[in-house]
Amino acid sequence: MKIRQNEFFIGAARFAAVGILALGLPLCVQAQDTNLSFSALQAAADKGDPVAQLELAADYAHGTGVPQDYAKAADYLRRAAEQGNTEAEMALGSYYGRGRGVPKNMGLAIQWYRKAADQGNAVAQFAMGNFYATGRGVINDMLQAIQWWQKAAAQNQIDAQTVLGELFLIPKPPYGTNYLNYAEAVRWLRPAADAGSISAMNNLGVAYENGYGVTSDLAQAAKWYRQAAEMGNANAQANLGLLYMTGQGVPMDLVQAYKWFKLSSIQNSALGTHHCEEMESNQSLKPEQLAQAEQMVRDFLSQQRQKSM
């Protein structure tokens, strides 16, 4: 069985982190619901309330009710972080990593992320894994990365589960087959897919199609590919198209195959583009079938736009 398109193990996972510098994500400070007026919030923050300090940091970071001032945001983050507030620790780490409101200092960035991770914060543990995997601010060490990801994944952190599943499933440069472990891949991909990770859905489909860590089951592969494909994942769309083209796990249907290849190719999938162009050049579809498939593509894209509104 051919290996279908999978996700790179540091990539398209769904993130719920606060300012994760490790992946270069947009920096934000998560506001807390204090139900306080600004003056009361200021008073509470100045008295040492870490929740109020975090809220005030968010106000200054976003310019909500006050002029935007990252230096003041960083100051309030530091006050909350020094009291052990893990969200403040992570946000302050991101400030140091970017030089926002404070001088750029990767050593301090890692220090604050590590503090949160050591306290059991799963998002910070996931971020620490990313630091070690990329060698950003620390020596590149995949074993350390895996250990941090496993800690986060054990707490049902969906991004860590997705990353581990992808790492254990498919050989990738520069590590080759060093970390292949199909049973572990499925162990983490399944809960991530069940929790809504689109790339985990696709990769679980890869596992079922190829019998990696599970008994090969093309119907299950089609199920997981479809879930990810309908949520817009280009790799899953191409993979589902292949199943329809060959009649594996689903009835053979060239109109459906073309639909999914075309949708995948619109997102610049090499696999989807290849098969879409191949079907066009071979005139695999009759003119009326091609028109039907193109209409299905337009309908899908219209539905996706409506969902995003």
Question: Over pLDDT 70: what percentage of the chain?
Answer: 88
Whether the pLDDT of residue 30 is over 70: the answer is no
Q: What is the mean pLDDT of residues 176-188?
A: 95
Q: How confident is the prediction for the chain on average, in pLDDT?
A: 90
Alpha-carbon dihedral angle through residues 200, 206, 210, 215, given to the nearest 10 degrees: 40
Q: What is the mean pLDDT of residues 40-50?
A: 93
Among 133, 142, 188, which Cα is nearest to 164's? 188
Q: Is residue 20 part of a domain?
A: no
Q: Is residue 115 part of a domain?
A: no
Whether the pLDDT of residue 184 is over 90: the answer is yes
Whether the pLDDT of residue 5 is over 90: the answer is no
Whether the pLDDT of residue 45 is over 50: the answer is yes
Q: Is residue 255 part of a domain?
A: yes
Q: Which residues pair with 172 in a beta bridge?
A: 176
Whether the pLDDT of residue 16 is over 50: the answer is no
Whether the pLDDT of residue 239 is over 70: the answer is yes
Q: Is residue 209 part of a domain?
A: no
Q: Is residue 293 part of a domain?
A: yes
pLDDT of residue 102: 97
Whether the pLDDT of residue 10 is over 90: the answer is no
Whether the pLDDT of residue 7 is over 70: the answer is no
Domain count, the chain: 1
60-93, pLDDT tens digit by residue?
999 998 999 999 999 999 999 999 999 999 999 9
Query: What is the extent of the structural domain holding 253?
Result: 234-309
Question: Over pLDDT 90: what percentage of the chain?
Answer: 83
Whether the pLDDT of residue 172 is over 60: the answer is yes
Q: Is residue 86 part of a domain?
A: no
pLDDT of residue 173: 84
Neighbour-count burial for 45-59, b at 16+ CB within 10 Å, e otherwise: beeebbbbbbbbbbb
pLDDT of residue 38: 84
Q: What is the mean pLDDT of residues 194-217?
A: 98
pLDDT of residue 24: 39
pLDDT of residue 9: 33
Q: Is residue 93 part of a domain?
A: no
DSSP symbols for 200-257: HHHHHHHHHHHTSSS---HHHHHHHHHHHHHTT-HHHHHHHHHHHHHTSSS---HHHH
Residue 302 burial (10 A CB sphere; 0-12, 13-18, 19+)? exposed
Q: Is residue 9 part of a domain?
A: no
Whether the pLDDT of residue 158 is over 50: the answer is yes
